[in-house]
Amino acid sequence: MTIEFETPKPIAQTQFVLKTVAENMMRSTSREMDECEHEIPFGYIEFMHSAMRSIGGGSLAPKEDKPKEGGEQKEKRPPIAYQNLASLIEMLSWGDVGFYLVTPGGGLGAAAVQSAGTPEQRAKFLARFNEEKPTFAAMCMTEAGAGSDTSAIRTRAVLDEAANEWVINGEKIFVTAGEKSFNSYEQFGKGFIVVWASIDPTAGRAGMRAFVVEAGTPGVKVVGLEHKLGIRASDTATIALVDARVPFDNILGSPTVEKTTTGFKGAMATFDMTRPLVAASGIGVARAALEFLKEKLAESRVEIRYGLPRNKLTSVEKDVIDMEIQLRSAWLLVLKAVWMADNKKPNALESSMSKVRAGDVVTKITQKAVEIMGPLGYSREFLLEKWFRDAKITDIYEGTGQINRLVVARQVLGYSGKELR
């Protein structure tokens, strides 16, 4: 199998539709939503839920190709589920990354179910994203004492055998879309959060498990919302769990502790699938900034003379060409990582590489664009300064740049986590 670099026709068609949405619905209200942090854009959410259902499903989760009714497909198509999702996310983030993060769908919560859930759990929990009302899901892993070191989580799940329920206690912070996923709104369907907890603290990573906690579960409460530098249209919540009871069957993975680190590997498998998607989001922001810069340079009659020797280029021309190289190389890493995911190949190395590269590239490109634009780049007259603020999160959530560099180093050098920290 080989990687195809030409955009498949179904993806190109979806990109055309989403670009219209990005230009006319997202860009036009980006500034307002940035300034009115924590307000929910119900109109956008309802429109996107309807639109995404019409183009192949209501969830921001990969859809597997299925044979047509009455027989096999005439021609087996290469799998493009994750490539399609990466392209969709890149385009929506080009419109506005904060808006993208409030697009209805499963997000990390659905990805965890997809990666670690049983077929029955996937059918039960993922089907609701295709229902009439828009629905959200979130993943709760980070804690005050367990940020990058996810194996240090202290949230505890204890089995109440008499009731056949898990009792969960702990507090999770920095939960993206946590408020919309857990709190009930008349306009939304019933969402859920996926809470990572330990069923045996003495077992370390082997005791880690994920639990689906449905919206409205007693004992679970959104206790705060973060005020942030960027992605301000998206809520980032703190969620407390006090004697929260969830059904026994809501555990993702085995309910018994084994000597292997199966539970921890389930978490990492989730990140292997989603880190390239985070990278795609950052690339969308970087592309927005670079295209804006080139547009403004053209208006000022500054020409980028491609094909000349580097020593004959102006400083601005060199900067713009370097930015384009960085952007394209980052996108190629994303394409490789999602191609491997689509073809069910282990992609831990490629996933982290794409995340590291995109985090660096989006930060550098937006910063350089502001620098070249000068006072206008710093001004709130344009969205460039907002994209600069939005960019840095790519290097932080779903594994910081430092952590992903560690993952890459361990993969390349063949070291374990204990050997290289």
Q: CA-to-CA distance for 171 and 241, rounded, in angstroms? A: 6
Nearest to 130 by CA among 11, 50, 212: 50
Using one digit for the tens of pLDDT, what is the confidence trace for 326-381? 999 999 999 999 999 999 999 999 999 999 999 999 999 999 999 999 999 999 99
Nearest 10 degrees: CA dihedral of 325, 331, 334, 339?
A: -110
Confidence check: pLDDT of 212 > 60: yes
Confidence check: pLDDT of 64 > 60: no
Superfamily classification of domain 135-260: Butyryl-CoA Dehydrogenase, subunit A, domain 2 (2.40.110.10)
Q: CA-to-CA distance for 4 and 85, rounded, in angstroms? A: 16
Superfamily classification of domain 264-413: Butyryl-CoA Dehydrogenase, subunit A, domain 3 (1.20.140.10)
Instruction: Verify whether residue 90 is a known catalytic residue.
Output: no
Average pLDDT of the residues of the chain = 90
Which positions ≥6 away from 150 have C-beta within 8 Å? 141, 142, 196, 208, 264, 267
Confidence check: pLDDT of 278 > 80: yes
For residue 282, the SS3 value is helix
pLDDT of residue 1: 58
pLDDT band at 169 (very low <50, low <70, confident <90, very high): very high
pTM: 0.92
For residue 167, the SS3 value is strand
Local structure of residue 67 (DSSP, 8 states): P
Given 214, 226, 350, 398, which residue is catalytic?
398
Amino acid at 64: E
Which helix or strand (DSSP H or E) is residue 377 part of?
helix 375-378
Instruction: Among 115-124, 179-188, 210-219, name the most confident range.
Output: 210-219
Which positions ≥6 away from 115 have C-beta within 8 Å? 266, 269, 270, 273
Confidence check: pLDDT of 76 > 70: no
Confidence check: pLDDT of 9 > 70: yes
The CATH number of domain 9-63+78-122 is 3.40.50.880: no
Residue boundaries of the structural domains of the chain: 9-63+78-122, 135-260, 264-413
